[in-house]
């Protein structure tokens, strides 16, 4: 039997009530609605910390933010935690990470510096050892960029909306695996 694909969509500031599948008649979220209709939804799940980095650390480790040390944004996650990607790799899955990482920072408050945006291959990728197209953190949705294996910024094509480009990368990864 073929194992299912596991896809997490982490959309900052997107709440359950903002989606059409949740019953919001004004929401225009056809792709998320389609994912919801074909997948498993955790409708009762909540974040113990409504802060980006802290939430991601909790999601990937299954621990409270006080156990991960990620209680604010712009910190560097301790790589010694057993994370979701480690468990998936041990189970034979190929892992990939596409999009905002926000779990590795070299300097507080220096968002745009490439050395702050790039996460080198190794333990700070928390087990995501396969395909990597990520950036630390920024809020540029047009004219955005990502990194693969070096601090060199790889720009998305001019005029490309970043979530669309990331979706295309994710679809390509799933199709090729």
Q: Which residues are designated catalytic?
A: 52, 102
Give the CA count within 13 Å in the CB-facing half-sphere of 174: 13
Rounded distance, CA 84 to CA 92, Å?
13
Judged by phi (left if over 0) then psi (alpha if -120 to 50, else beta), residue 79 lies in alpha
Residues sharing a CB contact under 8 Å with residue 30, sequence separation 6 or more, in sequence order: 20
**Tokens encoding 88:** 């998936």
Q: How many CB atoms lie within 10 A of CB 154?
A: 11
Q: CA-to-CA distance for 116 and 53, rounded, in angstroms? A: 14
């Amino acid at each position: 039997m073929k194992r299912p694909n596991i896809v997490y969509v982490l959309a900052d500031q997107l709440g359950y009530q903002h989606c059409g599948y949740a019953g919001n008649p004004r929401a225009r979220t056809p792709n998320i609605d389609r994912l919801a209709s074909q997948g498993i939804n955790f409708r009762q799940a909540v974040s113990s910390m409504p802060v980006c980095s802290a939430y991601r650390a909790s999601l990937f480790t299954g621990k409270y933010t006080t156990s991960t040390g990620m209680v604010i944004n712009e910190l560097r996650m301790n790589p010694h935690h057993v994370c979701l990607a480690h468990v998936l790799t041990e189970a034979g899955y190929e892992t990939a990470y596409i999009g905002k990482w926000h779990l590795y920072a070299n300097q507080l408050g220096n968002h745009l510096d490439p050395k702050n945006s790039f996460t080198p291959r190794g333990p700070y990728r928390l087990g995501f050892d396969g395909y990597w197209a990520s950036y630390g953190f920024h809020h540029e949705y047009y004219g955005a960029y990502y990194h693969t294996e070096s601090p060199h910024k790889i720009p998305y094509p001019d005029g490309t909306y970043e979530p669309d480009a990331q979706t295309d990368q994710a679809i390509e990864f799933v199709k090729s695996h």
